[in-house]
Amino acid sequence: MKLPLPKRTRIVTAVAAIGFIALLIAGPFASSERDECLFALALIIASALLIAFASRRPAFALAVPSVVFGGLLVAGAIKFKYLTTPLLAPDLVYFLNRDLLDVAHHYPSIMVALVAGAVLIPGSLILVWWLDRPRLFANQRPAQRRALQIIGAIAAIALLIAVDSPRGPFSSVFDKGMWAMMNDRNYIVDFFASFWQTQIVIPKPGAGAEKGVVWTQSPTDNPPACAKRGCATTRFASAQVHPDIVSILEESTFDPSMLKDCTIAALCKVKMFQADGRTRAHGLATMHVWGGGTWTSEFALLTGLDHLSFGEAGLYAPYNLAPRVTYTLPRVLHAAGYRVIAIYPMTGDFINARNAYKDYGFDKFYDGQDYGLSWESPDSDLVQVFDRIYAQEKKTIGKQPLFVMMLTLREHGPHMDPYKTMPPPFDKPLFPGRWKPKDLDDWLNLNLANYLYRLSGSDAAITHIEKTLLDSGRPALLFHFGDHQPSFEGAIRALQKIVPPSVPDSNFITYFMLKTNYKPARSGYSYPALDISFAGSLILDIAGVPKDIFFQANALMRERCQGRYLDCPNKPLLGSYDNYVFDTLHAVHE
């Protein structure tokens, strides 16, 4: 005789069924792509079957995928809203640490979601388990029931493996790549497909490459630092052989005059982007990310490589590429007698920074936390730290040249501080009525006001460092650049940007500026847009530091393709360069 289910069991089963249906509507059925819809649907159903066979609790089998997949949906949506990328599987490997709490501290919705998830997910599943009861196969004998459970569970596991396999029935889902996933909103699909995007792929020799291209330079192509008699002045008479070099990564920074609608000259024409008599090269810079991924811009500057060359896992360069790089800018500078240091605005544990910088070849890593720096620290605080460390280092090393890599942080998003927290003229909408609908107009005005206000602090900081460095009485070179455009939570894409026709995507454009207090041996470093991967060889050329075989090739490619790298229209030339770099020089080892 079949006994009626207790009322509490019927209620929890109904609630679990409603949650499961809601998951299907918000997840798979919300996708406009048929294959992606079926992929997510198959994952959810296979998971429910596995739990059902393993637990024999039907309500629990519906609740587990509802809570877990639903949690992924919520986490992906929140991360995309505030950090412009969805939750991906590698995040659990690389970013599930105390840095996540630091990020969440600045985004209240993320903190609320973390706390709620930590409490509600296990709590709700424990409650459902307690309220439900094992009732599947209840009429079978124990031996038959166990056999059915084992066979069913094995079948469900096999189905999950087949579904989430790049070579399985949904192979097309895995072909869109990590960057497409990072800009996508199909959160369940992106998370599970990204499990297979963690393998570094070192480029193999390609067919169609131009033959006979020489990628080495003669000694005269490694110019001295100064033009003839350029350094033979009184103030440089007892100076070091090579100039001090300071490279500043300006967080989320681009020249606002690039925006068609940024028409207030006093705010949009900023001094730090303007050339003067000390400028040796400047202009637009091509980045390999937008809205985030600062560490990939660090990687490109310091190694001369593009993380996109190494497959989808290249996005996590400080973890998986930094230990494998053979040639780096710091190592070249070491060979020329430099001391190489980094000034980091956050803790060195953030994105594996301290270990990565050691792999790149730095002598000293100054942790911003040790100097009281934090996420909110204005650039003026960072300047004080720079002054202190620079003076201390020069006092210690004397005439030995110094290379400083420094990062700013204040321009990082979110750019949504209320108007009342900013001084005039940033305390009100600066460009009212420019964009439609009104919600977009209000949002862009708030973000632009925040951006321009913080940029004024960056401008003051750069002006100070420029004066400190270039008026020091020692030969010196200052290089600063924007690591990527800010996101404005995705809204920056609505802003029309003025870029040359040769630029394939204006969202990946920022700026670079290089100044010296001496006249270089060569001039004429001008490009429609300079790929950040070529900035290292440009610095070496203008500093007059002899380049190793990798940076000789890097400099030749820079000039032969007018500052373009992976988007170089001369594909046979690009193929020849990549073959030389990866197959001959083994720039990245296994």
Residue 170 pLDDT more than 60?
yes
Output 170-177 pairs: Cβ under 8 A, ≥24 positions apart: 170/35, 170/38, 170/39, 170/42, 172/35, 173/35, 173/36, 173/39, 177/312
Residue 89 pLDDT more than 80?
no
Contact (CB, 8 A) for 477 and 519: no
Q: Which amino acid is at 441?
A: D
Report angle CA 539, 542, 545 to the nearest 5 degrees.
75
Higher pLDDT pick, 370 / 94: 370
Instruction: Report strand pairing: 279-286 vs 509-516.
Output: antiparallel
Please report the pLDDT score of residue 460 as a whole number: 97
Rg (CA), the chain: 28
Higher pLDDT pick, 279 / 173: 279
- Three-state secondary structure along 477-530? EEEEEECCCCCCCCHHHHCCECCCCCCCCHHHEEEEEEEECCCCCCCCCCCCCE
**pLDDT per residue as tens digits for the range 524-541:** 899 999 999 999 999 999
Please report the pLDDT score of residue 225 as a whole number: 67
Please report the pLDDT score of residue 525 as a whole number: 95
Tokens of 149: 């459970």
**pLDDT per residue as tens digits for the range 425-470:** 999 999 999 999 999 999 999 999 999 999 999 999 999 999 999 9
Cis peptide before 425 (omega within 30 of 0): yes
Contact (CB, 8 A) for 509 and 285: yes
**pLDDT per residue as tens digits for the range 151-164:** 988 998 999 889 88
Mean pLDDT comparison of 95-109, 181-195, 476-490, highest-scoring range:
476-490
**pLDDT per residue as tens digits for the range 197-228:** 667 888 888 888 999 999 999 887 777 666 65
Contact (CB, 8 A) for 54 and 149: yes
pLDDT > 90 in the chain, percent: 53
Please report the pLDDT score of residue 234 as a whole number: 42
Please report the pLDDT score of residue 121 as a whole number: 78
